Amino acid sequence: MPFALDREQQAWCAELRALAAERLRPLTPKSEPGRVNRPLVAALGELGLLSRVFPPDGTPVRAMDLCLLRESLARECTEAETALALQGLGAYPVARHGTARQRSRWLPEVAAGRTVAAFALSEPGAGSDAAALELRAVETAAGAWRLTGEKCWISNAPDADVYTVFARTGEAGGTRKGRRSGITAFLVPADRPGLHGTPLEMLSPHPIGTLAFDAVPVTPDDVIGEVGEGYRVAMATLDLFRPSVGAFAVGMARAALDTTIAHAAERRAFGGPLKDLQSVSHRLAEMATRTEAAALLVYAAAAAHDAGEPGIARRSAMAKLFATETAQYVVDSAVQLHGARALRHGHLLEHLYREVRAPRIYEGATEVQRTIIARELYR
């Protein structure tokens, strides 16, 4: 579909970029690497940015708004973008599927940046194959459950205040449909007895860790949605957030492209500016074209999601697949055209080079997105 941002959207994006550069970027050193930056999360709440993800009137977040937010923040401050996205991912299942009591208890605090949320789906043996999770929810005589098992690669763990946890409440069947139907989503506060976590040191210093559940008690009041329908809760969340991962990638690609265009115009080599070398100019043209194509896929998917059009899973997968692969190409090309200076610690491209790798893996790796697309073509 043809797509272009209107003037109001363009103005909002410019405002977001200014806020990210002037108000949010200075807060990035306020926590140790790999741990939640609570001053940054609080600032996102104070500036009203988290309220765009969780509107106070209870209306669903628009995928278009989420994508505009993530791309704009990513161009100026990837840490702020990630903090906003993780709040959204962790609490969106409550916003869409939670009870009135769950929403009133948690969403205002998450939107204000006072409570940190996390989305706990992945496990050591169930990352890309999300339906294969093994965290067990064993029903007790009192009609409640106890969670036993482990989660891994959980963003904001172990520092989050509340977790959306996906656990197996039924036996895994012989088909994928059977395996999916035995999963339930639970809202688990971090102070529940038996819940422990450990941070992980990663290539990019995001807050990521493991969670250990030692007979953690949960009740029917903690169920998000319906018992046995947790897989649908997870996939509905990912269908919204996958295009916005693409928007994050587009933001990084645009930042890398902007700095490379400026560098190629200023840097002189072989008797003239780099931009006059055909190999350089053609690489810049390819970087720009792929970035624009990625943006169009992302915002087409967002518009389709908001319009309730069919094929959302396919469009979301296409957007995430193409945009994250494009960002990897653009950032790598930018490093190549800058040379050794781009690898020096503290350079924008050194930062983006570490940041750009993970989106090709989380929320469904590139290979998973291709599988989703192919499956949806025959649905």
Residues 224 and 187: their CA atoms lie apart, in Å, by 7
Which tokens sit at 317? 């997968």
Instruction: Round to whole Å and give the CA distance between 322 and 243.
Output: 10
Supply 223's token pair.
Answer: 């169920």
Q: Is the peptide bond before 158 cis (omega within 30 degrees of 0)?
A: yes
Q: How many domains does the chain have?
A: 3
Low pLDDT (below 50) residues in the chain: 1, 173-179
Respond yes or no: is residue 376 known to be catalytic.
no
DSSP 206: -
pLDDT score, position 180: 55
Task: Return the closest-CA partner of residue 117 out of 136, 103, 131, 135.
Answer: 103
Q: What pTM does this model have? A: 0.93
Predicted local confidence at residue 176, as pLDDT: 47
Q: Which of 71, 79, 123, 363 is catalytic?
A: 363
In a domain, 82, yes or no: yes
State how far the alpha carbon of 120 is from the alpha carbons of 31, 165, 344, in Å. 22, 5, 35
pLDDT at 99: 96
Q: Are 243 and 211 in contact (CB under 8 A)?
A: no
Q: Are residues 173 and 126 in the same domain?
A: yes
d(CA 113, CA 33): 19
Residues 254 and 354 grouped into a single domain: yes
- End residue of a domain, out of 65, 88, 116: 116
Tell me which H or E stretch contains 165: strand 162-168
pLDDT digits (tens, 9 = 90+) for 298-313: 999 999 999 999 999 9
Domain residue limits at 28: 7-116
Question: Within a domain: residue 13?
Answer: yes
Check residue 175 and give its pLDDT.
38
Based on the fold, state whether residues 294 and 366 are members of the same structural domain.
yes
Q: What is the CATH number of the domain that holds 236?
A: 1.20.140.10
What's the pLDDT score for residue 213? 98
Structure-token pair, residue 211: 């969670």
Question: Do strands 162-168 and 223-224 pair parallel, antiparallel, or not at all (unpaired)?
Answer: unpaired
pLDDT score for 30: 86
Q: Which sign does the torsion angle of CA 308, 361, 177, 150 carry?
A: negative
Same domain, 253 and 360: yes
pLDDT of residue 369: 95
- Residue 141: predicted pLDDT: 74
Q: Which of 163, 199, 197 is nearest to 90 (CA)?
A: 163
